[in-house]
Amino acid sequence: MEDGKELINALRDAVKENTAPGPELRAALAKIDDPAVLRRAGKALSGLSVDDSELRPVRVAVLATCTIGPYEQFLVADLVAAGMLPRIEPGRYGMFEMALGTAEFAQEGDPDVVSCLIDESYFLPDEWDPADVTGLGEHVSARLNDLRGLLEAAKSKSSATILLHTLPLPSAVRDSVISWRERTRLARIWHRLNADLLGLAEEDSQLAVVDLVSVLGDAAFAARDDRLHRFGDLPFSDGALAAMASEARRFIQAKTGLSRKVLALDLDNTLWGGVVGEVGAQGLELGGLYPGNCYSEFQRVVSRLRDQGVILVLASKNDADLVDKTLTEHPEVVLRPEAFSAKVVNWSAKAANLSSAADSLGLSTGSFVFVDDSPFERGHVEEELPEIAVLSAEGDPAHLVRTLVRQGWFDVLELTGTDRSRPELYRSRTQRSDFSSDFGSSEDYLRALEIELTPAPATEFTVARIAQLAGRTNQFNLTGVRFDEKATAEMSDDPGHLVASFSVRDRFGDEGVIGAVWVDRETDIWRVRNLVVSCRVLGRGVETAIAHWLVTRARDAGAKTVEGRFTPSPKNKVAADFWTRAGFHPDGTEGIFVLDADGETSCPDWISIREGSEVLT
Amino acid sequence: MTTSASVEETVLETLSQVLDEPVEDLRAQPKLAAHDWDSLRSLDTLSQLENKLGLSFDLRAFNSANTIDDLIALAESSS
């Protein structure tokens, strides 16, 4: 897994069969950071040729003042991952100026983009006088003018966009000047060179510049390898070349219109810390100190994206009224309800919700980026809608902003007035749409999850957790009766009662104790005093499996009837039809539901119930 | 600590990826020149081995390795 073997083999197979790697494979490729794996992926994909593919063909010429090393492989891997079918045409070694001046970039006509790799040797002479740094500055300016001339010549003969980059001043050059004053002067000369390079792109839309200096300044790898430089005229390390390729991919993606337009966001533990249905608006982590400040900053950056035309969709499993109230009234919320062009806040599967949001926006799901902290939700969306770019909000919220922006999903070459007003246009379009329809979960996906439910009688080790669930669960809390630790312990010791906990695990891992039930056990009738299930696992059929287990247990104990209750609260709407869905029927008394213990209940076929080593279904 | 056996394994595995040949074929013909061994592939191998084994080669010693066994011995002595 770690060395990407499976991925590389799958890419090889695609190439062998002359088929384009599908969206799942491309999504997996886009997640690779390891230059060694990317390099092999690029190599595996180099022979990719498909007709009539969903991939966008793009031709990129590479010109360099040095050896390009694995830059070609990195470009191929990155461009395929972004949905392109690249043809890379590396220029000949030592021919940088000639190729640029004559605009002979490729065998057959103009490429779309010419990516230039330039190292310091282009601007610095071999010999220079450290006592005359000003003189060195004049040389650097003269070389920049030479480059300008070459670029003018290239543009007059070719319509290709030329992609340059800023370049770091190598420490070996900087540190060889021992005078602080002269070294400062040298640094200023170099910064001016980079500023002038960036200025080229501001003046001319046929030129673009990657600020490689900033990219490398933020990176955790060495940008240079002196051995490769001296041995192979390869000044940049694999990490630096991979970073440059990734920036080139961002540019080409924006140029070919393959950037994403829509950002769909989960709410709990993504836009704020905590579950609003559990802790209430006042208990959320948002604003103030860490970790609340991470979520505020995330909201501010999302808002900044929106100001630049990114359409926001809210996709949350929650009570819609509570969400609206919190988004409107919470003093620290940056993204108020009107910031979202569409909101899908309900208890249905997110994949179906995202499709429905895409329909009402009139955009394809392929233009979506989706951010969620739950591996379950992310896995589901990846499985059902692999064309959506899925980002994880799991883990330390301090990383949220970086996760969102680092890949440049939303890059455009230039902002237009329409871009800025786009979110508002789309919001009006969807305001009429109704997202309340109830989508079923995808059963195939649930089956693949291999969900296991483990019921267990309360023990001295689980009583505290059970009582905590009783205290904190608001949404799937059938009667609102909150048995505390003492009451739970007493009931669990009394044969007239049953207290059980429920744990769930699936292929994503162990969720731990996620539910509990308190039952009065009489000879003929079992009465459920309360049942709580954490909202983390709702939508997977776990609650139905719990009902099935309960009825089976009652029947085995000789009871004739199982009685359930539901007491409505402002927060437990999600559980209102639980008993009827489980096969119970109202017995005439308000809030009471009964089922003959011999009656039919069923456990969803994607859940297995395990007690000890015994598998019940 | 990386053991000798796993250094050997890592070298073979890496060469197998870089040269796109099964490990058995490499064992059968340990001479690097008999495979598709050029400067680009040798540098790819160098950077991968350095990352995986957490070491830094002297490029002179690395370039003078003629066989796979030379590479394994070099990696073992450098780690």
In angstroms, what separates the C-alpha of A3 from chain B's closest C-alpha? 10
**Which of chain B's residues have a Cβ under 8 Å away from the Cβ of A227?**
59
The answer to whether A42 faces chain B, any CB pair under 8 Å, is no
In angstroms, what separates the C-alpha of A40 from chain B's closest C-alpha? 8
| Strand A262-265 versus strand A311-317 pairing type | parallel
Distance CA A369, CA A253 (A): 15
Angle B12-B17-B23 (CA atoms, 0-180°, nearest 5)? 40
pLDDT of residue A438: 38
pLDDT of residue A433: 40
Domain B4-78 adopts which CATH fold? 1.10.1200
From the number of C-beta atoms within 10 Å of its C-beta (0-12, 13-18, 19+), residue A365 rates as buried
Asked if A225's CB is within 8 angstroms of B47's CB, the reply is yes
pLDDT of residue A446: 81
The answer to whether A40 faces chain B, any CB pair under 8 Å, is yes
pLDDT of residue A437: 38
Report the run of H or E that residue A346 belongs to, with start and end.
Answer: strand A342-346
The answer to whether B54 faces chain A, any CB pair under 8 Å, is no
A449-615 matches A262-440 in CATH topology: no
- Picking from A2, A11, A34, A225 by the largest number of B CB atoms within 10 A of its own CB, the best residue to mutate is A225
The answer to whether B39 faces chain A, any CB pair under 8 Å, is yes
Coarse DSSP helix, strand, coil percentages of chain A, rounded to the nearest 5 percent: 45, 20, 35
The three state secondary structure string of A108-130 is CCCCCEEEEECCHHHCCCCCCCC
In angstroms, what separates the C-alpha of A225 from chain B's closest C-alpha? 10
Chain A (465-524) residues lying within 8 Å, Cβ to Cβ, of chain B: none
pLDDT of residue A369: 98
**Which of chain B's residues have a Cβ under 8 Å away from the Cβ of A238?**
47
The three state secondary structure string of chain B is CCCHHHHHHHHHHHHHHHHCCCHHHHHHCCEHHHCCCCHHHHHHHHHHHHHHHCCCCCHHHHHCCCEHHHHHHHHHHHC
Domain A51-255 adopts which CATH fold? Rossmann fold (3.40.50)
Q: Which are the contacts of A181, defined by CB distance < 8 A and separation ≥ 6?
A: none
Model confidence band, residue B1 (pLDDT cutoffs 50, 70, 90): very low
In angstroms, what separates the C-alpha of A113 from chain B's closest C-alpha? 25
Of A36, A227, A234, the CB nearest to B51: A36
In angstroms, what separates the C-alpha of A35 from chain B's closest C-alpha? 9
Distance CA A195, CA A203 (A): 12
The answer to whether B64 faces chain A, any CB pair under 8 Å, is no
DSSP 8-state assignment for residue A575: G
Asked if A36's CB is within 8 angstroms of B47's CB, the reply is yes
Specify the CATH architecture of the domain A262-440.
Answer: 3-Layer(aba) Sandwich (3.40)
- Picking from B40, B56, B62 by the largest number of A CB atoms within 10 A of its own CB, the best residue to mutate is B40
What does the DSSP assignment read for A292-312?
HHHHHHHHHHHHHHHHTTPEE
**Which of chain A's residues have a Cβ under 8 Å away from the Cβ of B49?**
none
The answer to whether A290 faces chain B, any CB pair under 8 Å, is no
DSSP 8-state assignment for residue A224: B
Of B39, B51, B59, the CB nearest to A227: B59
Q: How far is CA A492 from CA A169, A285, A361, A445, A489, in A?
A: 71, 35, 53, 36, 5
| Strand A368-372 versus strand A389-392 pairing type | parallel
Per-residue b/e over A56-74, b at no fewer than 16 CB within 10 Å? bebbbbbbbbbbbbbbbbb
Which token pair is A163?
């992609």
Domain boundaries, chain A: 51-255, 262-440, 449-615
Structure confidence by residue, pLDDT tens digits, A504-520: 888 777 778 889 999 99
Q: Taking CB atoms and an 8 Å cut-off, how many pairs form between chains A and B?
A: 24
Which regions in chain A score pLDDT beneath 50? 1, 432-441, 613-617
**Which of chain B's residues have a Cβ under 8 Å away from the Cβ of A36?**
44, 47-48, 51
**Which of chain A's residues have a Cβ under 8 Å away from the Cβ of B47?**
35-36, 225, 237-238
The answer to whether A594 faces chain B, any CB pair under 8 Å, is no
Reported CATH class of domain A449-615: alpha beta
**Which of chain A's residues have a Cβ under 8 Å away from the Cβ of B59?**
227, 231
Asked if A232's CB is within 8 angstroms of B43's CB, the reply is yes
Of A36, A227, A232, the CB nearest to B48: A36
**Strand blocks (E) in A439-573:** 451-457, 497-506, 509-521, 525-533, 561-565
Distance CA A242, CA B7 (A): 27
Of the candidates A155, A256, A150, the one whose C-alpha atom is nearest the C-alpha of residue A205 is: A155
* Range scoring the smallest mean pLDDT among A270-279, A461-470, B17-26, B69-78: A461-470
**Which of chain B's residues have a Cβ under 8 Å away from the Cβ of A225?**
47
**Which of chain B's residues have a Cβ under 8 Å away from the Cβ of A232?**
39, 43
What is the model's pTM?
Answer: 0.79
Distance CA A212, CA A240 (A): 9
In angstroms, what separates the C-alpha of A72 from chain B's closest C-alpha? 12
Chain A (242-261) residues lying within 8 Å, Cβ to Cβ, of chain B: none
Distance CA A213, CA A167 (A): 6
What are phi and psi for residue A2, nearest 5 degrees? -65, -35
